[in-house]
Amino acid sequence: MSFPLLTAVAALPAIGAVATAAVPAARRTAAKWLALAVSLATLVLAAVVAFRFDPGGDRYQLTESHAWIADFGVRYELGVDGIGVALIALTALLVPFVVLAGWHDADPLEGRTPDRRWRPTQGFFALILAVEAMVIISFAATDVFLFYVFFEAMLIPMYFLIGGFGDRAGARDEDEAAKQRSYAAVKFLLYNLAGGLIMLAAVIGLYAVTADQLGEGTFSLQAIVEARQSGELAMAQNTERLLFLGFFLAFAVKAPLWPLHTWLPNAMGESTAPVAVLITAVVDKVGTFAMLRFCLGLFPEASAWATPVVLVLALVSIIYGALLAIGQRDIKRLIAYASISHFGFIILGIFAMTSQGQGGATLYMVNHGISTAALMLVAGFLISRRGSRLIADYGGVQKVAPVLAGTFLIGGLATLSLPGLAPFVSEFLVLVGTFTRYPAAGIVATFGIVLAALYVLVLYQRTMTGPVRPEVERMPDLRKRELAVVAPLIVLLVFLGVFPKPLTDIVNPAVEHTLSDVQKTDPDPEVEAAK
Amino acid sequence: MNPVNYLYLAALLFTIGASGVLLRRNAIVVFMSVELMLNAANLALVAFSRLHGNLDGQIIAFFTMVVAAAEVVVGLAIIVTIFRSRHSASVDDASLMKL
Amino acid sequence: METLIGLLVAAPLLGAAVLLCGGRRLDRTGHWIGTALAAASFVLGAVLFADMLGREAEDRTLSQHVFSWIPVGGFQADVAFRLDQLSMTFVLLITGVGTLIHVYSIGYMEHDERRRRFFGYLNLFLAAMLLLVLADNYLLLYAGWEGVGLASYLLIGFWQHKPSAATAAKKAFIVNRVGDIGLSIAIMIMFTTFGTFAFSPVLESVGETSEGTATAIGLMLLLAACGKSAQVPLQSWLGDAMEGPTPVSALIHAATMVTAGVYLIVRSGAIFDAAPAAQTAVVTVGAVTLLFGAIVGCAKDDIKKALAGSTMSQIGYMVLAAGLGPIGYAFAIMHLVTHGFFKAGLFLGAGSVMHGMNDEVDMRRYGGLRKYMPITFATFGLGYLAIIGFPGLSGFFSKDKIIEAAFAKGGTEGWILGGAALLGAAITAFYMTRVMLMTFFGEERWRNAPTPSPKEPSVEPAAETRGEYEVPHPHESPRSMTIPMIVLAFGSVFAGGLFSWGEAFVHWLEPVVPFEHGHPPVSALTVTSATVVALLIGVGAAWLQYGRKPVPAVAPRGSLLTRAARRDLLQDDFNHVVLVKPGEYLTRGLVYLDHKVVDGAVNGTAAAVGGLSGRSRRIQNGYARSYAVSMFGGAAILVAATLLMRAV
């Protein structure tokens, strides 16, 4: 038996989380370094996964399979396709930056000496690593039940990260901030648990259907897909649609899709910037990833049935999220609404059912992760300097902190999908992929790019340009640690914008497989052009 | 005599016990009513044992007696404690069972 | 040779990267690095030009495939360049004028502490613009298209501490984005129709598709061109873009970037040829804009905004020509090149004037400057003669051809278009003469402190209105600024004649840009004389108003049309009422809706569950006897239910 690489990628941060939590209370700095080292080691392992993965090979590779709960046919089954590899790489890549950016977020408050048992610092970093482990295993799971368990379990550490750690209140009232934080955390948890509960019902339903028709119940994705394709497993139309809805609702809450989005602005607004990045760039991606892998793979007919409605909801998300972003007064909530708009694009691409749409959506997940991380983390650095999240409290920062302003602008330009930066590639692919099948949807979505320009540039103009406000006069520019967080992200944005081929090579075959699951092919061009 | 009559008696005793629990305020009397209900149940069990011709009912009756004895110990102790602290044995004076 | 094409883009790109990431170390040398790399690009362009001339006319197209950019299924986007006569023309214009303006900026930006960054942005612009004209497919062109938009955004807002500059930069980017929608939809239609968006396959097979599809693509491309080239209805950003430093206005907002729309239309000529309806739309936009810009140019007192109106109008001429089909394409490009020379020269002249006048831009505060700035006066004067189309100078040749071609369109349409172009020529002569007279002739109005303008909100009072007035000391600019002006003046004088010598320019472009002789309903000589008459009328009218009478230092109230023209013919008011205000209400309404309705539904559900729990909590009152009742009740119900089930 070969080395269980995927288990190792997930287990490493899990062990790291326990170890970090166990660091003695007084050795706070050691805990930080340990967390950073573990996250970097995970990145190395993820890189090994990416290199060992052969894009031309089998659909699922590096597979592992062990019996887990034999009575219910639950297995511990892991395996990755190109989409999974890309997202595992993204997760492993972002967590070191999250750790580094949050270096001081869980320090004891200034001027307050904590007692000897005070250890939230350890907890903060341990929770981040725990989330990483669970997200990675969700991306690798090919057993529906296994996926479900970790899909739900990651809510717990996220709940504590949102509710337990917030921005330094600054001018705000500390009690009021704590109240808002706990409201956001509970909202996050309840929303996602509700979605998860519906999914649990669907998971059980799926088991019942397989047990009924195959004689022996199974949760294995591959087994179910194969049985469906061979005709052994034929779901009744209504059953399939209900099960699809059960899965889809849970993923739509996580993604988040309009109108199930209202938890995201609260959660991202109240948590610290690194945690907000963890929410939107990593955890939410599990939702869109699962739509692609589980909804389309398990329920192809129901997916086709739901497509019109989902496309409309995705379009509403795109436009609605962008318009609300324009109307926000709080930097972090603005970015949250921008993310809602971007998730609309991802879902649009997935349900366009073309190779450009789905390939673009997968790339979008990766690129949105990187670009939002860049923008959000710089926003976090900005907020930590002034102690306010309100746009109106800034002005003229460009003059005093040019590097900070410059990186903020690049993050913003990536968010508005400027060509040359990574998100452009994916956004254009999604638009083209949608247009070839649904021209009207493609055109409506295109208006999103104007609105994106509006919210990004208005944000930049109000915070960074104009006369220098007295409160920001002494604002220091980016420090070395902060630059070390932002610079690699920007390099990556440029690289993937100019040369996305390594990524598309990995993703393309997986997308072809997914399309063949739903039995769709790209529409042919009207005129076969002379090549 | 027809064993069914014992069942009627058990039902009567049980009803008396239940009414006692619901209507009386004195904790001791409530307690005694509970005992009456338990014994009504015992009587029914023994009667059934006789009716069916096996010993299951009698065995369960023994269990019930043991449980009742244990209950008396604990219950009386609680009542005495409450009486000591509140100088009252009325069950309506104490609403400690909610948070 | 092919590999040099990539270097053409790479040189300024390298410059931008070095200058923007290099930090303060490069503050002293940055401008030299930037200028050197721009010049290197020009030299490369010249080498390629020489090489191209050495080959047969049909064999002059070079192409280079660099790498595969976005390969997903049937969607194959490559980073590939195509250098033919059309792109070569642009390469020389961009790098040539670009290098001159780099040199000029060394002097102009000398006292700006962020000069290094300025040169970084300029280099970034050059790289993006070269990418735009060298791309061999529409998607790569789109990348360059947005790249120049970014450079324009950064440079308009270069003085970010001024809120007006930051606002203008944002406005330019967003209006351009509206146009970009057109380009991206055009690319999507192309991909859906042809399965590709590379120039040659699309343009060659456009005839095989329906006219409807071609029209759709054409209109979308026109929308893109309107955004980038400041054509009606997306023209509103160009006037505000004058907030940027003057070299930027010269390079980006006069000579090169704003003409990208014309390039796009000419490049996609085959599509427009297949879609007459789209062509009609193009000429309409061109004709309307050339009058619109000219009228705005007449009313502006800000020298740069007057020139901006003029740019809009001149590009209107080009778009008009490009919409005429093969009888106009080559002349559109020819006017584009000559315009590049004289308009850049005029802007640099304006910059030179501002440089000597404490950055004053109001022409009513100028006057009689010819004595103090002879070189600026001479070069500006030559540019002036070129733009109004004085016979023998560049503008005459190119503009006259466009007017001829407009008449040659034929039918009523031809008369309307030709008439509009002639009228435009007269107005051009009027507003340019006005600029000339107000700036270099007449009394020296700058000697007295300005009086605050009475109740005219559109005329912004100068910043110096309050406090002490410092009388400027007009002086000639340093040599780094005058030399580029002189070079451009040469171009303004001779380029047109050179190009028209035996139709050299037309024949040079012919292998890639189809050409046909137009046949105007009247003889060419008649058209030319009409043009000259229009020019004389314009000049005469301007002299009557601004030469014979002294120019008031404070703008008079003016007629209704003048006041509207000062406000850019109410374009901003229109956008404000139709787009901005409703947009604001919409976003505000949605924020409210999101909070109250969408989130309210969620919170409402939570509150309902909470309320229900609160109610049911009351049942649990802590009294032992009430618990007993519920137990007995429950037991009784169970028994009753069991018996009932038995009975049934």
Are β-strands A61-69 and A74-80 bridged in parallel, bridged antiparallel, or unpaired?
antiparallel
Q: Give the H/E segment covering residue C72.
A: strand C62-72
Residue type, C57: A
Residue type, C191: F
How far is Cα C416 from Cα C411, in angstroms, rounded to an integer? 9
Whether C428 and C493 share a structural domain: yes
Q: Which band of pLDDT confidence, cut at 50, 70 and 90, is reported for residue C148?
A: very high
How far is Cα C306 from Cα C299, in angstroms, rounded to an integer? 7
How far is Cα C116 from Cα B27, in angstroms, rounded to an integer? 93
Whether C423 and C523 share a structural domain: yes
Whether C418 and C503 share a structural domain: yes
A193 touches chain C (CB under 8 A): no
The reported pLDDT for the residue numbered C547 is: 80
Contacts of C620 in chain B (CB under 8 A): 98
Q: Is residue C362 part of a domain?
A: yes
Contact A191, A221 (CB under 8 A): no
Rg (alpha carbons) of chain C, rounded to whole number: 31
Q: How far is A155 from chain C (nearest CA, A)?
A: 19
The reported pLDDT for the residue numbered C458 is: 45
Domain count, chain C: 2
Q: Nearest-CA neighbor of A371 among A344, A338, A329?
A: A338
CA angle A142, A146, A147 (to 5 degrees): 70
Q: Is residue C258 part of a domain?
A: no
Contacts of C181 in chain A (CB under 8 A): 446-447, 449-450
Whether C544 and C583 share a structural domain: no
Buried b (16+ CB within 10 A) or exposed e, C215-243: bbbbbbbbbbbbbbbbbbbbbbbbbbbbb
Q: Is residue C368 part of a domain?
A: yes
DSSP summary character for residue C464: G
| Least confident segment among A193-197, A320-324, C329-333, C588-592 | C588-592
CA closest to C619 among chain B residues: B98
With a cut of 60, say whether residue C425 has pLDDT above it.
yes
CA angle C155, C158, C161 (to 5 degrees): 155
Whether C552 and C581 share a structural domain: no
The reported pLDDT for the residue numbered A119 is: 78
CA closest to C69 among chain A residues: A499
Q: Which two three-digit tokens encode residue C413?
A: 């349409």
With a cut of 50, say whether residue C160 has pLDDT above it.
yes
Q: Is residue C409 part of a domain?
A: yes
What number is the average pLDDT over the span B49-72?
A: 90
The reported pLDDT for the residue numbered B46 is: 92
Q: At what angle do helices C115-134 and C85-108 cross, to 10 degrees?
A: 170
With a cut of 80, say whether residue C467 has pLDDT above it.
no
Q: Residue C610, class by beta-carbon neighbours within 10 Å (0-12 exposed, 13-18 middle, 19+ buried)?
A: exposed
ipTM for the assembly = 0.90
How far is Cα C106 from Cα C361, in angstroms, rounded to an integer? 21
- pLDDT above 70 coverage of chain C, percent: 97
Chosen for mutation from A408, A431, A432 (greatest number of chain C CBs closer than 10 Å) is A432
- pLDDT above 70 coverage of chain B, percent: 93
How far is Cα C382 from Cα C377, in angstroms, rounded to an integer? 9
Q: Do B18 and C632 touch (CB under 8 A)?
A: yes
What is the pLDDT of chain B when averaged over all its residues? 87
Whether C483 and C605 share a structural domain: no
Are β-strands C62-72 and C75-83 bridged in parallel, bridged antiparallel, or unpaired?
antiparallel
Contact C126, C98 (CB under 8 A): yes
| Least confident segment among A96-105, A435-444, C42-51, C563-572 | C563-572
Q: Which of B22, B30, B95 sits opposite C622 (nearest CB)?
A: B95
Q: How far is A233 from chain C (nearest CA, A)?
A: 31
Q: Do C181 and A450 touch (CB under 8 A)?
A: yes
The reported pLDDT for the residue numbered A172 is: 59
How far is Cα B82 from Cα B75, in angstroms, rounded to an integer? 11
User: DSSP strand E in C195-271: where?
Assistant: none
Q: Which band of pLDDT confidence, cut at 50, 70 and 90, is reported for residue B44?
A: very high
**What are the pLDDT digits (tens) for A380-399?**
988 888 888 888 888 888 88
CB-based contacts of C623-630 (< 8 A; 24+ apart in sequence): C623/B91, C623/B92, C623/B94, C623/B95, C623/B97, C624/B30, C624/B91, C624/B94, C624/B97, C625/B21, C625/B22, C625/B25, C625/B30, C625/B91, C625/B92, C627/B97, C628/B21, C628/B22, C629/B22
Chosen for mutation from C613, C618, C623, C631 (greatest number of chain B CBs closer than 10 Å) is C623
* SS percent in chain B: helix, strand, coil, step 5: 80, 0, 15
With a cut of 50, say whether residue C459 has pLDDT above it.
no
C139 touches chain A (CB under 8 A): yes
Domain count, chain A: 1
First to last CA, chain C: 98
B16 touches chain C (CB under 8 A): no
How far is Cα A10 from Cα A89, in angstroms, rounded to an integer? 12
With a cut of 80, say whether residue C172 has pLDDT above it.
yes
HEC sequence for A409-474 = HHHHHHHCCCCCCHHHHHHHHHHHHHHHHCHHHHHHHHHHHHHHHHHHHHHHHHHHCCCCCHHHCC
Whether C504 and C429 share a structural domain: yes
Q: Is residue C483 part of a domain?
A: yes
Q: Is residue A327 part of a domain?
A: yes
How far is Cα A528 from Cα C204, in angstroms, rounded to an integer? 12
Q: Which of C69, C192, C602 sits opposite A436 (nearest CB)?
A: C192
Whether C481 and C395 share a structural domain: yes
Q: Which residues pair with A166 in a beta bridge?
A: A271
3 state SS of C62: strand
The reported pLDDT for the residue numbered C125 is: 93
Whether C527 and C432 share a structural domain: yes
CA distances C479 to A252, A369, C106, C476, Å, are: 65, 51, 10, 9
The reported pLDDT for the residue numbered A278 is: 92
Q: Nearest-CA neighbor of C507 among C340, C278, C334, C309?
A: C334
Q: Give the H/E segment covering residue A65.
A: strand A61-69
A180 touches chain C (CB under 8 A): no
The reported pLDDT for the residue numbered A367 is: 93
Q: Do A499 and C150 touch (CB under 8 A)?
A: no
Whether C444 and C582 share a structural domain: no
Contact C337, C390 (CB under 8 A): no
Whether C480 and C537 share a structural domain: yes
Q: Nearest-CA neighbor of A59 among A221, A291, A290?
A: A221
The reported pLDDT for the residue numbered C471 is: 78
Contact A11, A61 (CB under 8 A): no
How far is Cα B7 from Cα B50, in angstroms, rounded to an integer? 11
HEC sequence for A86-122 = HHHHHHHHHHHHHHHHCCCCCCCCCCCCCCCCCCHHH
The reported pLDDT for the residue numbered C317 is: 92
How far is Cα A160 from Cα A332, in angstroms, rounded to an integer? 19
B28 touches chain C (CB under 8 A): no
Q: Which residues pair with C362 in a beta bridge?
A: C302
* Backbone CA torsion sign across C188, C192, C196, C197: negative
Q: Is residue A463 part of a domain?
A: yes
CATH architecture of B4-86: Orthogonal Bundle (1.10)
* Backbone CA torsion sign across C319, C325, C331, C334: positive
DSSP summary character for residue C393: S
CA angle C360, C366, C369 (to 5 degrees): 115
In this complex, which chains have at least 3 CB pairs below 8 Å with chain A? C
C605 touches chain A (CB under 8 A): no
CA angle C280, C282, C285 (to 5 degrees): 110
| Least confident segment among B67-81, C41-55, C558-572, C594-608 | C558-572
Residues of the domain holding C580:
576-615
How far is Cα C499 from Cα C397, in angstroms, rounded to an integer? 9
The reported pLDDT for the residue numbered C464 is: 46
C622 touches chain B (CB under 8 A): yes
Q: What is the pLDDT along chain A (531 residues), one digit of tens a residue?
A: 578 888 888 999 999 999 988 888 788 888 889 999 999 999 999 999 988 888 888 888 888 888 888 888 888 888 888 899 999 999 999 999 999 988 888 777 766 667 777 778 888 899 999 999 999 999 999 999 999 999 999 999 999 998 888 776 555 577 788 888 888 898 899 889 999 999 999 999 988 888 888 788 888 888 888 888 888 888 888 888 999 999 999 999 988 888 888 899 989 988 889 999 999 999 999 999 999 889 888 888 889 899 999 999 999 999 999 999 998 888 999 999 999 999 999 999 999 989 899 999 999 999 999 999 999 999 998 888 888 888 888 888 888 888 899 999 999 999 999 998 999 999 999 999 999 999 999 999 999 999 999 999 999 998 888 888 888 888 888 888 888 989 999 999 999 999 998 899 888 888 888 888 888 888 887 776 444
Q: Nearest-CA neighbor of C526 among C647, C380, C404, C349?
A: C404
Contacts of B95 in chain C (CB under 8 A): 621-623
C46 touches chain A (CB under 8 A): no
Q: Do C174 and A450 touch (CB under 8 A)?
A: yes
Q: Residue B73, class by beta-carbon neighbours within 10 Å (0-12 exposed, 13-18 middle, 19+ buried)?
A: exposed
C173: Cβ–Cβ under 8 A, 6 or more apart, which residues?
A453, A457, C149, C150, C152, C153
With a cut of 70, say whether residue C463 has pLDDT above it.
no
Q: Do B91 and C623 touch (CB under 8 A)?
A: yes
Q: Which band of pLDDT confidence, cut at 50, 70 and 90, is reported for residue C561?
A: confident
Q: Is residue A47 part of a domain?
A: no
Contact C134, C83 (CB under 8 A): yes
Contact A146, A45 (CB under 8 A): no
Q: Which two three-digit tokens encode residue C302?
A: 């800000």
Chosen for mutation from C24, C66, C72, C190 (greatest number of chain A CBs closer than 10 Å) is C72
Q: How far is C204 from chain A (nearest CA, A)?
A: 8
Q: How far is B26 from chain C (nearest CA, A)?
A: 11
Q: Is residue A531 part of a domain?
A: no
Whether C358 and C497 share a structural domain: yes
Chosen for mutation from C625, C626, C630 (greatest number of chain B CBs closer than 10 Å) is C625
Q: Nearest-CA neighbor of C302 among C565, C574, C571, C572?
A: C565
H helices of C67-114, in order, are 85-108
Contact C283, C409 (CB under 8 A): yes
Q: Do A324 and C587 touch (CB under 8 A)?
A: yes
Q: Which residues pair with A65 in a beta bridge?
A: A77
Q: Which two three-digit tokens encode residue C398?
A: 């190119």
Q: Is residue C637 part of a domain?
A: no
Q: Which two three-digit tokens encode residue C23?
A: 């930090």
Q: Is residue C528 part of a domain?
A: yes
Q: Do A398 and C204 touch (CB under 8 A)?
A: no
The reported pLDDT for the residue numbered A528 is: 63
What is the four-CA torsion angle of A82, A84, A88, A94, rounded to 10 degrees? 90
Instruction: Note the residue count of chain A.
Output: 531
Please count the residue pairs, one from chain A and one from chain C, whose beta carbons lie less than 8 angstroms apart. 181
